Structure 1
């Protein structure tokens, strides 16, 4: 006996079948509008977090409105153009997370965003790592929202690993297309953004977020908290950007300088700006730029702000 589409709907969604068709369609549209509103909010937080990272100074070897750090090919204006190109992406990837899309669809959104970024910057890679890191977190935040899960750091990490962990682990395998980060990782056995994501971003959840909260709880402002996080990440992670620019010796130098800043009290030290500036000059002298740490800083700030907003709501 054949079962009609309408009868199938009765078994799959009995509550929907009971609704008048126009009312059901209206509710679906209303839900989509609500989802898009939430996705837009996450996108704005992501962009603000990336912009805050750009404004931070003095940060070792990185571009800011004050100077270009260790970079000859980009300025703060380059980063701003890049940010404008990413407005649509962070909303789209959050919505994809709300719709439980698979990793291949998330990756396609990231590839499209990277193309728009490169068009906006005339081929300069400003936010490739951020597209991946913040994009995966945005998708996980969207998934939490869609499932009605209270937004906490632990929940976001769990959803990330449960929803896309297997695909992320496979994504760490060697690929045919080369990048500076991949080449550095293979040469020096350094972990990069892919490995971070496959493990549920341990540097964010186990290093950066606790450091951020500790600085805020100690009464320091967001600028100081972000600076503490950045130096903690530089000291902790194996940043492929550092290996690419300075080799093993450069990465060791960068880690040691960051750790010394932390050992001196980080931003609780009244002279922290002078110390940070000296580290910045050291990185510029050796052409070192911890772009991976900068991406993870922005991702940490995005996550913290999204959780704070959820608590406030």
Structure 2
């Protein structure tokens, strides 16, 4: 018996695309302050091998997130609660693979939601377009900030997310998701596509997109390690590199290597931006493989599930 025969190819493959995105983000170099294939960035407890082990351990969970989204029959605003227990299991698998090191806890949250949303979108539309995924994520995560960060706990120490929200009003990745990921939609994906049209590939494409994200995101990894002033400096430096156009030119990585060295010395790690980079590549891949009208026509011809209407 073929256990896959009743599961559409896109749902089978979403986990693979998520794994690819996680590995590409971890490997692209030089990534200022981040673990990459050249060095461990501003980290002393992890390296590229830690990320490879972590990413592989998470790959089956990403498929399961997609499958749960695909099979979910309830309202879309109940999907996040439905996949939460799987997220907890994925965290445990990550820590087991890394011997207790937190490599991708934030990315589990972000990518898990995206995979589930992609599965849900395919079930409903027979197509997976990033625009539809953004809309689905927004409904999935409505009220998330108030629910998880709004009330001050009386019986425990504040988490870093709670502290930043109450101290600075920073909503972090929860706010991004609640808003439908505007940094990816309005900044990262356009930058990614622009770099492709200019002939960028591999490291150049990913680093250009990473810097574009760094200019705009309120990276909580940076703020937790340092402060708002450091974040503003990082945003300015990323913007200056982009405006110089050196990133897309031959030999342009020399200035990025200098920035990497500086971030390592100052212990600056734009980890939140790295998560958004992985998500950007993932969403671009979904658009390319499963987001066209041609793909929709082909799936209908081959007998994939027809569109169903689900009221939210």
Whether TM exceeds 0.5 here: the answer is yes
Equivalent position of 1:135 in the other structure: 112
Q: Which aligned pairs between 1:29-68 and structure 2 lie closer than 5 A?
A: 33-35=5-7, 37-68=9-40
Partner secondary structure for residue 271 of structure 1: coil
**Greater CA deviation, 220-229 or 45-54?**
220-229
State whether residues 229 and 297 of structure 1, in contact with CA within 8 Å, keep that contact through their aligned partners in structure 2. Answer: yes
Equivalent position of 2:138 in the other structure: 161
Q: How does the TM-score come out when normalised to structure 2?
A: 0.84
Change beyond 3 A, Cα 1:124–1:268: same
Equivalent position of 2:283 in the other structure: 303
Change beyond 3 A, Cα 1:279–1:130: same
Residues 1:215 and 2:187 aligned together: no
1:126 is displaced (CA, Å) by: 0.6
1:88 alignment partner, one of 33, 38, 60: 60
Equivalent position of 1:15 in the other structure: none
Give 5+ residue unaligned stretches, structure 2: 296-312
Change beyond 3 A, Cα 1:287–1:148: same
Q: Which aligned pairs between 1:121-270 and structure 2 lie closer than 5 A?
A: 121-162=98-139, 164-166=140-142, 168-174=144-150, 176=153, 178-270=158-250
Which protein is richer in helix relative to its size?
Answer: 1
1:294 is displaced (CA, Å) by: 0.3
C-alpha distance in structure 2 between counterparts of 1:125 and 1:174, whole Å: 25
C-alpha distance in structure 1 between counterparts of 2:34 and 2:141, whole Å: 31
Give 5+ residue unaligned stretches, structure 1: 1-25
RMSD over aligned Cα atoms:
2.2
Q: Give the structure, 1 or 2, with the largest relative contact order (CA under 8 Å, sep 6 or more).
A: 2
Q: How does the TM-score come out when normalised to structure 1?
A: 0.84
Change beyond 3 A, Cα 1:219–1:180: same
1:272 is displaced (CA, Å) by: 1.8
State whether residues 208 and 248 of structure 2, in contact with CA within 8 Å, keep that contact through their aligned partners in structure 1. Answer: no
State whether residues 58 and 93 of structure 2, in contact with CA within 8 Å, keep that contact through their aligned partners in structure 1. Answer: yes
Residues 1:276 and 2:256 aligned together: yes
Equivalent position of 1:21 in the other structure: none
